[in-house]
């Protein structure tokens, strides 16, 4: 939508402010005009995203596709990991899960670490423009 278009037009290093929606995202489901959803979350910000994922992925009649870029400092900081792994493993045609790990933008992935689900992906550093461009659905026109 318009926010995606705006974000894709930002220069590298631009600062972006986010705010909490006055309504619960899960209550806005079923998002009738959206066939694809890109989610960006870090740390505890995964909890409202999981509420939406429950609604979208838990509805057998909903074929919407979701990309989730989820940032954590370390593998042990990944919240709701088991639940995310189950979705990534059982619904790889609907959920693209990208774990982004690091405390700095140039951090490498921890030695030997890889996602426990083969259908999930791991990236090092922070969620940045390059990762969003690589994984996210294109902005709506």
**Does 4 appear as a known binding residue?**
yes
Size of the chain, expressed as the number of residues it contains:
141
Give the whole-angstrom CA distance, residue 47 versus residue 80.
8
26, 120, 10, 8: which is closest to 75 by C-alpha?
120
**Does 47 appear as a known binding residue?**
yes
Give the whole-angstrom CA distance, residue 17 versus residue 13.
13
Give the whole-angstrom CA distance, residue 140 versus residue 7.
12
What residues form the annotated binding site? 3-4, 47
Known binding residues for FAD are: 3-4, 47
């Amino acid at each position: 939508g318009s926010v995606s278009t705006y974000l894709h037009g930002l220069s590298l290093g631009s600062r972006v402010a986010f705010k909490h929606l006055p309504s619960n995202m899960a209550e806005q489901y079923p998002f009738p005009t959206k066939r694809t959803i890109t989610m960006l979350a870090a740390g505890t910000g995964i909890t409202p995203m999981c509420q939406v994922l429950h609604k979208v992925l838990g509805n057998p009649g909903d074929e919407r596709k979701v990309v989730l870029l989820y940032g954590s400092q370390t593998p042990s900081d990944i919240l709701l990991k088991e639940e995310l792994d189950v979705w990534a493993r059982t619904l790889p045609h609907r959920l693209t899960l990208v774990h982004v790990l690091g405390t700095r933008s140039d951090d490498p992935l921890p030695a030997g670490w890889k996602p426990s689900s083969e259908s999930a992906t791991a990236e090092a550093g922070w969620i940045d423009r390059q990762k969003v461009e690589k994984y996210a659905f294109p902005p709506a026109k």
